[in-house]
Amino acid sequence: MDEVDIVIFKELWKNSRITIRELSDKLGISVNSVHKRINNLVEVGIIECFFLRPNKLYPASLWVLLFGKSNSSELENKILKLGKKGNIFKAVQCLDNCVLIFGPLKDISEINNFTEDVVRELIMEDYILGIQANNENNEDTVSFSKLDYQICHSLAKNSRRPLLDVANELGVTPKTVKRRLTKMEKDGSVHTKFRWQPALGDMILSYMYLTIKPGISRQEITAYLSNDFNTHLLQYIEFSNLPNFLLTAFCGRTFGEISDIQQRLNESGKFKEITVNVQYKAYHFDTWMDDHIRNKAGIK
């Protein structure tokens, strides 16, 4: 993997339905070359699948992230057990047994049970629970027709699926599918990304927990990260209950690149504390959201 692959990752992360032609134009390389690179990432298992997900299905629904160190001696089995509960979308296992658990909840009343389940199963003594702020999602509940839900279900685990195939499956025209999907994308009702296992390739994904110094705004920090680390910054997550905290995800080809990023962040003088964890493996699960979409789409 090289810098071109990193750019492809970043563009697919923003929108996994971006076309080969659009990527070709952005990168200045041939369509065939882009096609081969993406196919290779999929074939070796680095990219598991491209997915589409609605942003907000219930008025009070929210996303939470619980992270900290697990003391479990059978961590993978415990994560797989938690994944069956239907309220965990993604679990990340890091090299030092730190874990990140991403959960969609129907409302805030589910937080206590969610936290107790994760902490008990993974034997966590010190952890942080963040309620994800809506930095990328539309705050309004989505308003979908039955056809919209059917399109979401059809693209749920293959967002790059040709719209002609979707149309044939649903018995409508490709023009209708494109019109409905474009509307959902424009009004922020859905977003598309991919599931991946960077450890299967020569790429490193590092989650860095940044505690911002008093007097420095979160807006200043996000602008700084976007401007100074654009090449390697994959994502940052803000939390409504943790105003001086950011979770960031940086990708690099070597531990040296990750170490350099950490050093530059330290030298900026903007952070009270920086904690670095490197992803070892990610686990993805179906949740109540998948059941909700199937039910609304009329699929049994």
Q: What is the DSSP string of 279-300?
A: EEEEEE---HHHHHHHHHHT--
For residue 186, what are the contacts with CB-CB under 8 A and spacing of at least 6?
Answer: none
238 and 271 assigned to the same domain: yes
Q: How far apart are CA 86 and CA 256, in angstroms?
A: 38
Q: What is the CATH number of the domain that holds 121?
A: 3.30.70.1060
Asked, for residue 203, whether it belongs to a domain, the answer is yes
Collect all residues with Cβ–Cβ distance below 8 Å to 133 and sequence separation of at least 6. Answer: 237, 238, 239, 240
Quick one: pLDDT at residue 252?
Answer: 87
Last residue of some domain: 163, 188, 213?
188
Do 128 and 89 share a domain, yes or no? yes
Give the DSSP H or E segment for 275: strand 271-284
Give the pLDDT confidence score for residue 140 in this predicted structure: 56
The pLDDT, as a whole number, for residue 201 is 77
pLDDT at position 60 is 85
Report if residue 57 sits inside a domain.
Answer: no
Last residue of a domain, one of 121, 154, 188: 188
Indicate whether 174 and 108 sit together in one domain.
no
Residues near 155 by beta carbon (within 8 Å), at least 6 away in sequence = 51, 52, 161, 166, 181, 192
151 part of a folded domain:
yes
48 is a domain residue = no
Residue 178 maps to which CATH number? 1.10.10.10
Q: How far apart are CA 128 and CA 78, in angstroms?
A: 19
Tell whether 128 is covered by a domain: yes
- Would residue 298 count as lying in a domain? no
Q: Are residues 276 and 234 in the same domain?
A: yes
Q: What is the pLDDT of residue 16?
A: 95
Say if CB 205 and CB 233 are below 8 A apart: no
Total domains, the chain: 4
What confidence tens digit (pLDDT) does each residue in 160-184 have?
Answer: 999 999 999 999 999 999 999 999 9
Q: Which of 131, 101, 62, 106 is nearest to 292 (CA)?
A: 106
For the residues of 125-175, what is the DSSP string, one character each?
A: EEEEEEEB--SSS-SSPP---HHHHHHHHHHTT-TTS-HHHHHHHHTS-HH
Q: Among residues 238, 286, 275, 283, which one has the least CA distance to residue 122?
A: 283
Q: Give the integer Cα–Cα distance in Å for 211 and 23.
A: 35
Q: Do 122 and 183 reside in the same domain of the chain?
A: no
Residue 223 lies in a domain: yes
| pTM of the predicted model over 0.75 | yes
pLDDT < 70 stretches in the chain: 1, 134-142
Q: How far apart are CA 17 and CA 141, in angstroms?
A: 23
In angstroms, what is the C-alpha Rg of the chain?
20
Q: Give the integer Cα–Cα distance in Å for 17 and 50.
A: 8
Is the same domain home to 233 and 257?
Answer: yes
How far apart CA 55 and CA 61 sit, in angstroms, is 10
Structural domain for 170, as ranges: 146-188
